[in-house]
Structure 1
Amino acid sequence: MINDLEEIAGIYRELSKLPTPLKACVRPQVTLNHKEKYNIVYAEWSQRDLERAEWVKAFQEYIVFHDESSIVCTGPSGNCTELQGELLSRDSPSGTLKAVIREHTNRKQEKQQYLEIWNKTSKEKSINLTALDKHGKVYEDDQFGCLEWSYSETCILYVAEKKRPKAESSFQSKPELSVNEDIDDNRAKIGQKPEKGCQFVYWEDWGEALTNKSTPVLCVLNIGNRNISVLEGIPEHISPGQAIWAPEDTGIIFVGWWHVPWRLGLKYCTNRKSALYYVDVTGNECLQISSGINSVRSPRLSPDQHHLIYLEGGNIKTHHQCYGLSLYNLDKKVTSTVVKIVDYPTIDGFTGIYSSALARKCWATDSQRVLIDTAQRSRKDLIVVNIATKIVTSLTAGSEMGSWTLLDVHQDLIVVSCSSPNCPPNLKVGFLPAAGKEQEIIWMALDKVEPLQGIEWKILTFTPPFEQENPKFRSLLFEGILLVPGQEKSTKPPLVVSPHGGPNSVFITCWMLLPTAFCRLGYSVLLVNYRGSCGFGQDSICSLIGNIGSQDVKDVQFAVECVLKEEFVDSEKVLLIGGSHGGFIGCHLIGQYPGFYKAFATRNPVINLPSKLGITDIPDHTVVQAGFDFAPDQLPSPSVLTALLSKSPIIYVSQATTPVLIMLGEKDKRVHPSQGLELHRALKARGVPVRLLWYPDDNHALSKVDTEADVFMNVAMWFNFALNRLQQLETIEHIEASPTKV
């Protein structure tokens, strides 16, 4: 074990520099004089900058030489270059132009947003969106945001916050005109008619990580005359986003989320009621395409513009679930299901689709096949779906790389990112073979990335004991991902156990900074995908409904005990870490199994379900996971509140003896920090060692660069404290047990 703080920080600093790909796009094909062909692959990467305490974006270009269907050679073109101020960017369909949404701070220290049009050599246009004042800030998030060129390359589509009326105090005096201000500023002051006494009116937002998003609108910029149109005709009860152009630029296809009676949190919640819509460019007609019964997302138009695919959820109310792939025929105006929701893994092992979003470009050139990356148990695989035959084929099953993410498809040239728990992300390319021969695909790396030495990993499969089986959903398995440090076989490392949050999320065998860093410190790490995790079939997800605090807790404990039986980790040095619902499980574990875990570190844990209910952005989650129906216009009955309390870890706190480190984000709207404070007070009152860290500028994920680094260092020190404390107690017990020499 490593105890030196400088050495611990050095390991984190080294690993945190490794970048993660954000997106990639294939530029148009170029044919040389001797008939050789090549494409440029443009990739954007994200990297932590510890000195600046911020995430930075950089881009890199690669050259891919190929013939008609096979790659000859690849390589990077130049070095990475940092991107400054870019919120969104998109190449035009022809590849000759690029649109950029950029944020810039002017001389008055005011943030302004610009839409820029670039050609191959220079900036053609720079339009100050803030000054035009047609809307609020542009949405750059994955939930609503988009930046789409029309097929004619004359217009740009994006989503922004609706312009709000100006407001001021009832006692505000009239603005004074100044000779030092320019004429435009004075004209603006004269033209304003603020609403008196409305400056503190509450604007409902979309919850955790979307706190500055309230009322999105679809905006179309005419590049020629610089005119911005905010599309009208959209139903007032929905919020639009994820928009694309309809065939021949006749209108816009978008997802609309219901925001009545009030907005529920959207981040990580793909179950929200929504539908696909079409609105013409004049705003005179808005038609609903999908039923509106279930949740939908990620509409993607085929290259021949005859078909629209999208993901559609089922009738269960968990925040994430297995999804079907729906197909809308634009010619016949008919919807069909291509891939059904999978309740239990099929004979060939397919477990269903669990993607939070489809890649922006996911169609093959033949307009008959769609590529999707999705969790398949504890891996993320790349599959091909044939919309005509409805056959699902895996391109990556059985590969040595742990997980695959689709970034782009252009004329059947595929760009993917792949990684493993011991190998940082790297980009690969390959040509999609003809239908029926997809598994013959040959991948070639764009850049060489070596696995880290001294870290091994494997997937463990667990079968719950008979008494722990769910009577409604029997024969369900679950898994864990085990990372093992390379060290002397005679030395048994401590074990760090981590159940994921959600609860309907999943650990996949990809690159993860914190587990890898702890493995480098000398710990084995067990990541547990208990029953209820995504990627194992809909039955597994449904099995957890009504059984939180019991089934998930027992699964984690059973997985740990199975690992301990293998006797390659130190059974007396088992540690625990978890956030959100993972913190909920962790708090149950230290209460239900007193003394088993020697230390616990938790981020924004769920402690008390009844007290969480009224202050979270997702109250439905609390009620549904506990096994009850949620109604926004009804208060929970006393019996429901009693049941919620019985499933809460706070009722076991009197039995806990494990030292606990609590880390809270002050701006957390998902699990209010009062939950962690309640735990802190309860442990402190009972004399259990406890430490609280409070991050005033962070939210639920605690993902700011400086926060994340501080979390790692404090968890490492907390574990060291607990293990050193354990060693001291063992020494004292040994001395007391030894015979006294006279």
Structure 2
Amino acid sequence: MTAKSDSEWIDDVSVSTIYRELSRIPSFTHAQFQASNVFRVGSTTDDHARNTRRKNTQTCVINGDDIIASLPIDSGDVVKSTISPSRKHVATLREIQDSSIGSGKKQIVEVWERDKLVTSFDASKFHGTFYGDDVFLALSFSPSEDALIYIAEINPGARDRKEGSPLAKYQFTPSLGEGYAGKKQPGIFLFTWNPTDTTAKPTVKLLQPIDPPSQPTLFTQAVFVTDRRIFAIGYEYTPDHRLLGIKFCTNRLAGLWEFIIPEVSAEEEILRCRAVKRTQASLSVRCPRVHFVDGNPSSLVWISNPVGGPHASCSTVHVCDLKTDLWAEKVLVESVSNPQSDTFPGIFTTTLPTEPFIVYNNETFLVTGSAWRSRTTILLISLDTGKVNNLTPFEDVYCCSWNVLGTDGHNQLIAVRSSPTSPPELVVGQVLNISDVQWKQIVQPQLTDSLRSRLDSLKTTVIPIPDRQPIETIVLGPKDASLQPCITIPHGGPHSAMSTTFSAIYATLALEGYTISMPLYTGSIGFGDTAVRKLLGKIGGLDVEDCIETVKYLAKLGLTELGPGKQFISGGSHGGFLTAHLIGRYPDIFSAGVLRNPVISLGELSISDIPDWYYEESGVEFLSDTLMTPELYTKLYQMSPIAHVDNVRCPVLLCMGEVDLRVAPTQALTYFHALKGRKKDVTMICFKEDAHGLESVEASAVCADAILALFNRYRK
């Protein structure tokens, strides 16, 4: 078959109706009980007609064996909403489009008492945009339910700078990096109102320590303990005045702080609080959660990782008794180094549910999702003993992954489950004992009979790779024995993982006649801490070898074939790094490759928000005075896929987000020009408003269509 040039094959791109149908299936994002048998659930779905990812909310009622789920209601202007501990109040943070103000949006705080709007307040003049993501999220009622704390962008005028300085507004302030375009300084805001006097004006106060920390510190993830006491997380600048990227990085300078709130004065916009850092500098802390008993604070739980090193590693769980005035914390769950294949591998999660506690038989448990080898599971952790139980059913047929969204504080939890062949469905579980849950399906995806039948024709298997333990790969392919071209998809990170969750793009590729292999190479999470750290200093070597051995082993098993038109590869970020390595070092195996925002040359850091990644992953400690040297650049060049660009023979598709702050777009550009200059078959598509994940509805759909067009052109 005569290969088309890069300017011709792209003309074969057509719209994938399968992908669009699958991507419209809701993904459940959060849930909260409103009563023992009533809860609200949030979800997102891709609207291709409007080119937007829509947010929806629906209410579910359980009445014995009958389940009533309301139709989803568009909640696109809601950043965050929460129900009060008494279940009588609802607080909502809204951002309303308003072109008359500089930011283009109004920040509205609402409080409802059942069906009565208690207050609706425009807080736009007090702060900038709200924060609603898992890293900086906070929306918490005070125990008396007459105050809220939440996180929003601090107005420049309220920042701690020298008053009257003509250069104050030009002073350099690091941004929050990838995922936070235009955001630089989150702060904790206290919102108070008078429940008995509707004419009284609410107040909004920025909380800051009386004695500022030695390094600039950004406070977030705040939770009430009492009406005057809160705990929060403080992210710190490094000594060289960097704020290293936080998204997906659990190794940052971040401590647990205790704030004591003074009496609120109507005149002051900044409320100075006594604040004490409670955790040691060597730990990166996140997700403080308070357990209340009869309305009184009983325990504080949080998770941590070591500062520095890999960007994700095995976490520890901590608990502190709040029933006494003494600060006495203990480690509830230790990091696990070398688990046996069928035993608990440690905690691997970036966040905890907002309401994570279960009480059974007078014992309190923490509930969390966590990576466990190739699956995500729900874990039950005793606050008394630290014993960990896996609540996740083990289905050999479906290989489901599970995640918990919330609990009722007693013995019920809301969870979402899916597999590579079954889209997400919502379930409610009742804890019968510490190792058994009775699950009830609440919301299941609405699929056409044809699509359901096609998904049922696929199967998922997890295959260990011999002599490379604990390496394994998730394989999605046909139930029958037919051989199909194989697409290897190494994950990014490298300290993340594929799991047996549903993916619209992977399911689409499988339904279009490909076998999908998702290798969990050395460095993947969910296999213990040693497996994570083993990759440091060996990227471009050990991870590449793991991936190619996976390709060869599946062929040896007869699940795939080697040869022209039989093997393809696609990866993003570090997965793109591996893809570039593999097509350069094994040019006879792969017939085409797709790279999304790839790392190409380790020595060319450019504008990355995580420059430490390039050093630490290459085996070089990143310090405040670390600089690139000619000797170090030579080492990094040899570990980089750019060193093998001359050997690339297969057609290449590059997908680039032009506002990527994690892997600079210059990395993809470097590879594109290097391939072009060597007269290779390369095409690049760019998305002007997309960042590192290429997660917009448009970019996701276009990439799916382009990948199919490229691979279909060169398959046999």
TM-score with structure 2 length normalisation?
0.89
Correspondent of 2:28 among 21, 24, 36: 21
Q: Contact 1:116/1:125 (CA < 8 Å) preserved in 2?
A: yes
Q: Contact 1:165/1:194 (CA < 8 Å) preserved in 2?
A: no
Are 1:41 and 2:39 an aligned pair?
Answer: yes
Q: Secondary structure at the match of 1:151?
A: coil
Are 1:403 and 2:401 an aligned pair?
Answer: yes
Distance (whole Å) between structure 2 residues aligned to residue 271 and residue 321 of structure 1: 8
Instruction: Give the CA deviation at 1:195.
Output: 7.3
Q: Secondary structure at the match of 2:205?
A: strand
Q: Secondary structure at the match of 1:272?
A: coil
Matching residue of 2:559: 568
Structure 1's 478 and 107: CA in aligned 2 closer, same or farther, altered over 3 A?
closer
Distance (whole Å) between structure 1 residues aligned to residue 167 and residue 588 of structure 2: 57
Bigger CA drift: 688-697 or 359-368?
359-368
Correspondent of 2:121 among 123, 127, 133: 127
Matching residue of 1:176: none
Q: Contact 2:576/2:595 (CA < 8 Å) preserved in 1?
A: yes
Matching residue of 1:597: 590
Are 1:262 and 2:242 an aligned pair?
Answer: yes
Instruction: Give the CA deviation at 1:76.
Output: 2.7
Matching residue of 2:431: 432
Instruction: Give the CA deviation at 1:423.
Output: 0.6
Q: Contact 2:13/2:706 (CA < 8 Å) preserved in 1?
A: no
Task: Note the alpha carbon deviations across 1:454-511, whole angstroms, 9 max, x for none.
Answer: 221111111336xxxxxxxxxx411111000356x4x421100000000000001011
Query: Rg larger in 1 or in 2?
Result: 1
Q: Secondary structure at the match of 1:303?
A: strand
Query: After the TM superposition, which residues 316-395 of structure 1 pair with which residues of structure 2 at under 5 Å, given as runs?
Result: 317-330=309-322, 331=324, 332-346=326-340, 349-365=343-359, 366=362, 368-395=364-391
Bigger CA drift: 509-518 or 561-570?
561-570
Matching residue of 2:189: 219
Matching residue of 2:267: none
- Percent identity for Structure 1 against Structure 2: 28
Q: Secondary structure at the match of 1:312?
A: strand
Correspondent of 1:621 among 608, 613, 629: 613
Query: After the TM superposition, which residues 156-305 of structure 1 pair with which residues of structure 2 at under 5 Å, given as runs?
Result: 156-165=148-157, 201-224=171-194, 225-233=201-209, 235-236=212-213, 237=215, 238-246=217-225, 248-260=226-238, 261-282=241-262, 283-304=272-293, 305=297
Instruction: Give the CA deviation at 1:101.
Output: 0.9
Instruction: Give the CA deviation at 1:142.
Output: 1.7
Matching residue of 1:181: none
Matching residue of 1:549: 540
Instruction: Give the CA deviation at 1:106.
Output: 3.0
Are 1:453 and 2:456 an aligned pair?
Answer: yes
Distance (whole Å) between structure 2 residues aligned to residue 271 and residue 203 of structure 1: 21
Residue type at the aligned position of 2:650:
T
Task: Note the alpha carbon deviations across 1:544-567, whole angstroms, 9 max, x for none.
Answer: 001000000000000011011122
Bigger CA drift: 408-417 or 382-391?
382-391
Residue type at the aligned position of 2:562:
S
Q: Contact 1:310/1:325 (CA < 8 Å) preserved in 2?
A: yes
Q: Contact 2:252/2:308 (CA < 8 Å) preserved in 1?
A: no
Q: Contact 1:60/1:76 (CA < 8 Å) preserved in 2?
A: no
Distance (whole Å) between structure 2 residues aligned to residue 229 and residue 107 of structure 1: 25
Aligned length: 663
Residue type at the aligned position of 2:420:
P
Q: Contact 1:24/1:408 (CA < 8 Å) preserved in 2?
A: yes
Distance (whole Å) between structure 2 residues aligned to residue 124 and residue 106 of structure 1: 23
Structure 1's 165 and 448: CA in aligned 2 closer, same or farther, altered over 3 A?
closer
Task: Note the alpha carbon deviations across 1:115-173, whole angstroms, 9 max, x for none.
Answer: 1122322433211111xx22222222221121111111100101111111399xxxxxx
Task: Note the alpha carbon deviations across 1:241-272, whole angstroms, 9 max, x for none.
Answer: 111002x3221100111113211111111110
Task: Note the alpha carbon deviations across 1:408-460, whole angstroms, 9 max, x for none.
Answer: 11121111111111111111112223xxx322321111134486322211111
Structure 1's 115 and 194: CA in aligned 2 closer, same or farther, altered over 3 A?
farther
Distance (whole Å) between structure 2 residues aligned to residue 196 and residue 337 of structure 1: 49
Bigger CA drift: 98-107 or 595-604?
98-107
Instruction: Give the CA deviation at 1:7.
Output: 7.7
Distance (whole Å) between structure 2 residues aligned to residue 4 and residue 401 of structure 1: 38
Correspondent of 1:54 among 52, 57, 60: 52
Matching residue of 1:64: 62
Correspondent of 2:694 among 697, 702, 708: 702
Residue type at the aligned position of 2:260:
D
Q: Contact 2:14/2:705 (CA < 8 Å) preserved in 1?
A: no
Task: Note the alpha carbon deviations across 1:2-41, whole angstroms, 9 max, x for none.
Answer: x997985211121111010010111124xxxxxxxxx112
Task: Note the alpha carbon deviations across 1:38-78, whole angstroms, 9 max, x for none.
Answer: x112111100000100110111211123xxxxxx3241333
Q: Contact 2:411/2:430 (CA < 8 Å) preserved in 1?
A: yes
TM-score with structure 1 length normalisation?
0.86
Q: Structure 2, unaligned stretches of length 5 or more? A: 1-9, 195-200, 263-271
Matching residue of 1:69: none
Structure 1's 210 and 524: CA in aligned 2 closer, same or farther, altered over 3 A?
same
Q: Contact 1:464/1:555 (CA < 8 Å) preserved in 2?
A: no
Structure 1's 417 and 689: CA in aligned 2 closer, same or farther, altered over 3 A?
same
Matching residue of 2:519: 528
Instruction: Give the CA deviation at 1:297.
Output: 0.7
Structure 1's 347 and 671: CA in aligned 2 closer, same or farther, altered over 3 A?
closer
Bigger CA drift: 261-270 or 234-243?
234-243
Q: Contact 1:303/1:363 (CA < 8 Å) preserved in 2?
A: no
Are 1:608 and 2:601 an aligned pair?
Answer: yes
Are 1:95 and 2:122 an aligned pair?
Answer: no
Q: Contact 1:147/1:157 (CA < 8 Å) preserved in 2?
A: yes
Q: Contact 2:382/2:388 (CA < 8 Å) preserved in 1?
A: yes
Matching residue of 2:637: 645
Q: Secondary structure at the match of 2:71?
A: strand
Distance (whole Å) between structure 2 residues aligned to residue 604 and residue 4 of structure 1: 23
Matching residue of 2:3: none
Q: Contact 1:579/1:605 (CA < 8 Å) preserved in 2?
A: yes
Are 1:84 and 2:71 an aligned pair?
Answer: no
Distance (whole Å) between structure 2 residues aligned to residue 149 and residue 369 of structure 1: 22
Correspondent of 1:143 among 130, 135, 141: 135
Q: Secondary structure at the match of 1:302?
A: strand
Q: Contact 2:207/2:273 (CA < 8 Å) preserved in 1?
A: no
Residue type at the aligned position of 1:230:
L
Distance (whole Å) between structure 1 residues aligned to residue 119 and residue 648 of structure 2: 63
Q: Secondary structure at the match of 2:435?
A: helix
Residue type at the aligned position of 2:192:
N
Q: Contact 2:302/2:318 (CA < 8 Å) preserved in 1?
A: yes
Structure 1's 637 and 4: CA in aligned 2 closer, same or farther, altered over 3 A?
closer
Instruction: Give the CA deviation at 1:196.
Output: 5.5
Matching residue of 1:483: 476
Bigger CA drift: 144-153 or 632-641?
632-641
Distance (whole Å) between structure 2 residues aligned to residue 156 and residue 484 of structure 1: 50
Residue type at the aligned position of 1:343:
S
Q: Secondary structure at the match of 1:645?
A: helix
Bigger CA drift: 682-691 or 200-209?
200-209
Distance (whole Å) between structure 2 residues aligned to residue 649 and residue 207 of structure 1: 25
Q: Secondary structure at the match of 2:292?
A: coil
- Structure ranking higher on relative contact order (CA contacts 8 Å, 6+ apart): 2
Bigger CA drift: 231-240 or 150-159?
231-240
Q: CA RMSD in A?
A: 2.2
